[in-house]
């Protein structure tokens, strides 16, 4: 700079002006508030209901190079995406005994199908639905013309048949496609995690998702209804600190994190310490586990108040009716499951957040 000052006045004057301009710019830049981090994406889901069951679906519109139009059950109670091989692979590769794979893997329609076979089970006592298939990899488009995102080369379970646990019959193709967004990895394969956990996020955005409150009026008995803005991928610092969610640590079993938290259930004057799963994949009946119950399984009558509280300060109260907030009480020795499960009805009255990175669940009343 001193060398420049030795030049004649015209240059110096221009330099003074330039320095003043730069100083002004620097001052202004200090006064500009950095833009708040934004979530990766927000998309809608489809809501559907029949006489008693309610479902939320994610549209799957492309797998590998195959354009599709499948609705996958949005499931906070399981981990990993499963999808029927019908329509994705040539019919000649799909047999009643499995998917034909030569060698360790084969690439068809942009889908890598491995020779690793497995079985996935859903449900509980009285009806366990099973899917049979293989570990696969592909890019997947989640969402449709209303809003979509693409996950590049994610692992998922490609099944060739699904068998109903009650009737023993093979289910129609793509009727049991599942979009499991729980934490950790699938019990079927440690290679499979939530499809929402594979997005490359910006700095200060935490790996996870949040659900807006489901719209009860949009559950339809005739056709799935699109509801915008329900699912947000990626969590901002504000989501985790200032937006009203009450955060709870996930519980662990054998060192693995589960989408369960501790709380207390009160029904008919009885208090029960509980491990609670909030499950969009349970379509109608909440299940309260009570080791002191007088029978293996009991349906609470309409008009029963159920109160759920946590030590962190969250509380939720609902009343059973003849077709809404249906609730059963089970003995764990009968169900072989210690978890109390709140069905999809919980999400009609509350917001939900799952933080994959810090292993926490956020709950928010509405």
DSSP letters, 48-117, are EE-SS-EEEEEEEEEETTEEEEEEEEEETTSEEEEEESBTTB-GGGEETTEE---SSEEEETTEEEEEEE
Give the pLDDT of residue 113. Answer: 98
Rg (alpha carbons) of the chain, rounded to whole number:
26
- Alpha-carbon distance of 15 to 222, in angstroms, equals 73
- Alpha-carbon distance of 223 to 117, in angstroms, equals 35
Residues pairing with 297 in the sheet = 330
What is residue 169's DSSP assignment? Answer: P
The pLDDT of residue 5 is above 90? no
| Cβ–Cβ < 8 Å for 72, 178 | yes
Q: What share of the chain is helix, strand, coil (3-state, %, to 5)?
A: 15, 50, 35
Which region among 28-42, 126-140, 153-167, 240-254 has the lowest average model confidence (pLDDT)?
A: 28-42
- Alpha-carbon distance of 41 to 150, in angstroms, equals 10
Tally of CA atoms within 13 A in the half-sphere of 115 that contains its CB: 5
Q: Which of 2, 70, 74, 40 is nearest to 282 (CA)?
A: 74
Q: Report the SS3 class of residue 267.
A: strand
Give the pLDDT of residue 10. Answer: 30
What is residue 238's DSSP assignment? Answer: H
Q: What is the mean pLDDT of residues 201-210?
A: 97
Q: Report the SS3 class of residue 217.
A: helix
- Alpha-carbon distance of 173 to 193, in angstroms, equals 23
Give the pLDDT of residue 42. Answer: 97
Q: Which of 326, 261, 265 is nearest to 293 (CA)?
A: 265
DSSP characters over 4-23: HHTS-HHHHHHHHHHHHHHH
Q: What is the mean pLDDT of residues 273-293?
A: 96
In the chain, where does DSSP find H-type helix? 2-5, 9-31, 237-241, 332-335
Tally of CA atoms within 13 A in the half-sphere of 137 that contains its CB: 13
Q: What is the mean pLDDT of residues 247-271?
A: 95
The predicted-structure confidence for 25-54, as pLDDT tens digits, reads as follows: 443 445 556 678 899 999 999 999 987 799
Q: Report the SS3 class of residue 204.
A: coil
Mean pLDDT over each residue of the chain, to the nearest integer = 90
| Cβ–Cβ < 8 Å for 235, 210 | yes
Q: What is the mean pLDDT of residues 268-281?
A: 96
- Alpha-carbon distance of 283 to 267, in angstroms, equals 21
Strands 66-75, 252-253: pairing is unpaired
| Predicted TM-score (pTM) of this structure | 0.89
Band of pLDDT at residue 203, cut at 50, 70 and 90: very high
The pLDDT of residue 126 is above 80? no
Residues pairing with 154 in the sheet = 138
Q: What is the distance between the terminal CA atoms of the chain, rounded to a whole angstrom?
A: 62
Strands 206-211, 178-181: pairing is unpaired
- For the record, the structure tokens of 190 come out as 């440690």
Give the pLDDT of residue 220. Answer: 81
Give the pLDDT of residue 250. Answer: 98
- For the record, the structure tokens of 135 come out as 């570990």
């Amino acid at each position: 700079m001193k060398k420049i000052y030795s030049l004649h006045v015209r240059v110096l004057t221009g330099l003074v002006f330039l320095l003043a301009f730069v100083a002004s710019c620097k001052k202004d830049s200090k006064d500009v508030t950095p833009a708040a981090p934004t979530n990766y994406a927000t998309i809608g889901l489809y809501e559907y209901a029949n006489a008693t069951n309610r479902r939320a679906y994610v549209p799957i519109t492309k797998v590998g190079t195959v354009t599709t139009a499948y609705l996958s059950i949005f499931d906070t109670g399981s981990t990993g995406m499963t999808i029927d091989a019908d329509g994705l692979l040539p019919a000649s590769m799909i047999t009643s005994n499995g998917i034909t794979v030569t060698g360790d893997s084969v690439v068809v329609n942009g889908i890598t199908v491995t020779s690793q076979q497995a079985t996935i089970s859903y449900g509980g006592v009285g009806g366990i639905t099973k899917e049979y298939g293989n570990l696969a990899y592909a890019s997947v488009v989640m969402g449709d013309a209303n809003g979509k995102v693409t996950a590049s080369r994610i692992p998922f379970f490609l099944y060739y048949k699904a068998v109903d646990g009650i009737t023993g019959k093979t289910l129609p193709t793509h009727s049991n496609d599942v979009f499991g967004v729980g934490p950790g990895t699938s019990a079927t394969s440690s290679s499979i995690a939530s499809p929402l956990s594979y997005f490359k996020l910006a700095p200060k955005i935490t790996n996870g998702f949040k659900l807006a409150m489901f719209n009860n009026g949009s559950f339809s008995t005739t056709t799935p209804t699109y509801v915008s803005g329900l699912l947000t991928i990626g969590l901002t610092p504000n989501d985790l600190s200032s937006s009203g969610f009450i955060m709870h640590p996930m519980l662990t079993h054998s060192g693995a994190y589960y989408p369960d938290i501790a709380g207390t259930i009160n029904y008919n004057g009885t208090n029960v310490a509980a491990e609670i799963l909030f499950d969009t994949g349970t379509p109608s009946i909440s299940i309260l586990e009570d080791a002191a119950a007088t029978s293996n399984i009991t349906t609470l009558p309409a008009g029963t108040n159920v109160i759920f509280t946590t030590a962190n300060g969250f509380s939720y109260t609902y009343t059973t009716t003849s077709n809404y907030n249906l609730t059963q009480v089970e003995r764990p020795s009968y169900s072989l499951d210690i978890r109390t499960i709140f069905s999809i009805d919980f999400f009609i009255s509350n917001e939900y957040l799952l933080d994959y990175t810090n292993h926490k669940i956020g709950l928010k009343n509405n």
